[in-house]
Amino acid sequence: MPTKIDHYCINLCVETKEVIKWALKTMKYIKYLYILSTLIYLFSCSDKTATTPSIDIKNGKFDVLISETGEVRAKKSTVVNAPMVRGLGKIIDIVPEGTKVKKGDYLLQLDPEEAQLKVEAKENELNTLKAELEKSDANHQFQIKQMELSLENAEYRYQLEKMGMNNIEFESKSKQEEKKIQFKITSNNYIENKEKLKLQKIINATERKRLQSKYRKAEMELYNQKKQLENLRLTAPEGGLVVYAKTWKNGRMSKIQIGDTPWSGMSLVELPDLSEIEVDTYVNEVDISRIKVGLKVKVYLDAFKDSEYIGEIVSISRLARRDQDGSGAKVFDIVVKILEIDEKLKPGMSSRCDIMINEYDNVTSIPLEAIFNSDTTSYVYLKKGGSFKKKEITILDKNSTHAAIKEKLKGVVSLDVPE
C-alpha cells in the first residue's frame, strides 16, 4: 500500500512534466519572436533606393535632332493638262497610276464622240465648198468662153468695117455718113465687149478669191478640229512616273478617275522625274535658328519602316507660315535632297525627317526627366551604395528626350528627388 511519500513523489513527477511542457511551449514562442525581430531589423537596414524610380545612364553615340513629318516629291516634274477644247468629254481611259512611261507614250483618253461629230460636220462643209468652187470655176470658164467668142465676132466686124472705110471717099455723102455711123456702132460694140470681158474676169477672180478664202477657212477649221480630236488622246511630253492630279470633287480634294469631266487646262497627270528626289518638310519657328543649309537629314518612309535615306537641307523658306494642323504655330518650309535613291522612293509618300543638328561619338547622356535645375546649376541624383547622392553636371546639348553632359558618369540616376 503506497505511503504518503509515494503519493508526494507521484504528484511531483506530474507537476514536473507540466512545467517541462510549458517551458518547451514558451521557448517555441520565443523562437518565433526572435525570427520576427530579426526580419524587422533586416528590413529597416535594407537599401533605401529600392522604391525610388530610376533609370540607367547611357554612354556612347548621341544625336541632337529635330524630328518632323515630310512628303516625298521629285525635284523636276511635268504636268499634263487637259487640252484647250470647248466642251470636253469625260475621261474614258487612263493608264494605271505608278506606271513608268517614256516620252510619247499613251496616258489618257477623253471621250471623242462630240469632237468626232464636229470633224464630220466640217468635212461635209468642206466638201460642199469644194463642189461650189468647182461649179463656180466651170461657170466662169463657160461664161468667159462665150464672151471671148462675142469679142472675136465684134472684132471681126470692126476690122471688116474699118477696111471698108478706106474707100469711103468714092461713096456718096449720104452713104459715107451711113458707113461712118455704122462703123462707130461696130467700134463701140467691139470696145464694149472688150471692156465687159475684162470686167467679168475681174468679177470672176474676186468671186473665186471669196470662195477660195471660204474654202481655206473651212480647211483650217477642219485641221483644228482634227487636232482637237487628236489632243483628246494625251501622250507623255517627257518620261516619268504617272501620278494622278487632284481636283476638288464632292467637297474635298481627290484624284482624277474615269468618268470625271475636266475643264480646259485642268491638271490631269503629273510625270515626276525620278532621277532626283526631294522631301518637303518644315520646322517650328523656335528651332529655325539651329537650321542651316547643308545639315544632314535622315529620312524614314512610313511605308517601309526599315528604310533609311541620307539627305541634306538644300533650301529654307525666308518667310514663316501658319501650320495647317490648326494649332496656330508658325513654321518654316524646308527642302531636303535625297543623296542616294532607290525604287522604293515614290512621289507623295509620307516620311519622317530627323534633322541632325549635332552628333557626339562618345558622351554620357541622361534623360531630361532625371535632370534637376537650380538658379545656376543643373544636377542629377546618382546612386551611390544604398542611397542617391546629388551630383552637379554640365549640359553640352539636348535633344527631345535626353541631354548630353560633359561629365563621364556610369550607373543609375533617380527620376524623382529622393527622400
Residue type, 235: T
| pLDDT at residue 12 is higher than 70 | no
| pLDDT at residue 30 is higher than 80 | no
Number of domains composing the chain: 4
CA–CA separation, 89 and 261 (whole Å):
6
Looking at the domain assignment, is residue 311 inside a domain?
Answer: yes
Instruction: Between 327 and 106, name the one with better pLDDT.
Output: 106
Question: What would the pLDDT profile of 174-229 be if each residue is shown by its tens digit?
Answer: 887 888 888 899 999 999 999 999 999 999 999 999 999 999 999 999 999 999 99
Question: What would the pLDDT profile of 99-136 be if each residue is shown by its tens digit?
Answer: 999 999 999 999 999 999 999 999 999 999 999 999 99
Do 106 and 251 reside in the same domain of the chain? Answer: yes
CA dihedral 226, 231, 235, 241 (to 10 degrees): -170
CA dihedral 298, 303, 305, 306 (to 10 degrees): -80
CA–CA separation, 263 and 377 (whole Å):
66
| Residue that terminates a domain, selected from 231, 255, 290 | 231
Q: Which residues contact 81 (CB under 8 A, 6 or more apart)?
A: 265, 266, 267, 268
Do 255 and 398 reside in the same domain of the chain? Answer: no
Looking at the domain assignment, is residue 91 inside a domain?
Answer: yes
Question: What would the pLDDT profile of 255-276 be if each residue is shown by its tens digit?
Answer: 999 999 999 999 999 999 988 9
Domain assignment of residue 41, given as a range: 1-46
> Residue 50: what pLDDT?
59
70: which 3 cell numbers? 515630310
Instruction: Give how far Cα 327 sits from Cα of 269, 331, 351, 352, Å.
Output: 33, 11, 21, 20
Question: What residues does 59 pair with on adjacent strands?
Answer: 364
Looking at the domain assignment, is residue 419 inside a domain?
Answer: no
Neighbours of 69 (CB within 10 A): 13
Do 36 and 142 reside in the same domain of the chain? Answer: no
Do 64 and 209 reside in the same domain of the chain? Answer: no
Do 300 and 384 reside in the same domain of the chain? Answer: yes
193: which 3 cell numbers? 465687149
Looking at the domain assignment, is residue 283 inside a domain?
Answer: yes
Instruction: Check which CATH number belongs to the domain holding 84 and give it.
Output: 2.40.50
397: which 3 cell numbers? 546639348
Neighbours of 135 (CB within 10 A): 11
Looking at the domain assignment, is residue 221 inside a domain?
Answer: yes
Do 203 and 144 reside in the same domain of the chain? Answer: yes
Instruction: Check which CATH number belongs to the domain holding 367 and give it.
Output: 2.40.30.170
- HEC secondary structure over the chain: CCCHHHHHHHHHHHHHHHHHHHHHHHHHHHHHHHHHHHHHHHHHCCCCCCCCCEEECEEEEEEEEEEEEEEEEECCEEEEECCCCCCCCCEEEECCCCCEECCCCEEEEECCHHHHHHHHHHHHHHHHHHHHHHHHHHHHHHHHHHHHHHHHHHHHHHHHHHHHHHHHHHCCHHHHHHHHHHHHHHHHHHHHHHHHHHHHHHHHHHHHHHHHHHHHHHHHHHHHHHHHHHHCEEECCCCEECEECEEEECCEEEECCCCCCCCCCCEEEEEECCCCEEEEEEEEHHHHHHCCCCCEEEEEECCCCCCCEEEEEEEECCCCEECCCCCCCEEEEEEEEECCCCCCCCCCCEEEEEEEEEEEEEEEEEEHHHCEECCCCEEEEEEECCEEEEEEECEEEECCCEEEECCCCCCEEECCCCC
CA–CA separation, 82 and 89 (whole Å):
11
Looking at the domain assignment, is residue 53 inside a domain?
Answer: no
* Percent of the chain whose predicted confidence (pLDDT) is above 70: 88
Check: CB of residue 299 under 8 Å from CB of residue 308. Answer: yes
What average pLDDT does the chain have?
Answer: 87
CA–CA separation, 402 and 389 (whole Å):
20
Do 144 and 246 reside in the same domain of the chain? Answer: no
> Residue 125: what pLDDT?
96
Neighbours of 254 (CB within 10 A): 13
Instruction: Give how far Cα 192 sits from Cα of 47, 185, 187, 198, Å.
Output: 139, 10, 8, 10
Do 393 and 289 reside in the same domain of the chain? Answer: yes
**Where does the pLDDT of residue 85 fall: very low under 50, low under 70, confident under 90, or very high at 90 and above?**
confident
349: which 3 cell numbers? 509618300
| pLDDT at residue 72 is higher than 50 | yes
The pTM assigned to this predicted structure is 0.58
Do 295 and 409 reside in the same domain of the chain? Answer: yes
Looking at the domain assignment, is residue 300 inside a domain?
Answer: yes
> Residue 28: what pLDDT?
53
Neighbours of 216 (CB within 10 A): 12
Do 261 and 296 reside in the same domain of the chain? Answer: no
Antiparallel, parallel or unpaired: β 321-322 and 296-301: unpaired
- Quick one: average pLDDT of 333-347? 94
* Percent of the chain whose predicted confidence (pLDDT) is above 90: 66
CA–CA separation, 363 and 406 (whole Å):
7
Looking at the domain assignment, is residue 52 inside a domain?
Answer: no
> Residue 80: what pLDDT?
96
79: which 3 cell numbers? 504636268
Do 279 and 260 reside in the same domain of the chain? Answer: no
> Residue 268: what pLDDT?
96
Which phi and psi angles does 36 have, rounded to 5°? -65, -45
Do 263 and 225 reside in the same domain of the chain? Answer: no
- Quick one: average pLDDT of 282-288? 94
- Quick one: average pLDDT of 360-365? 93
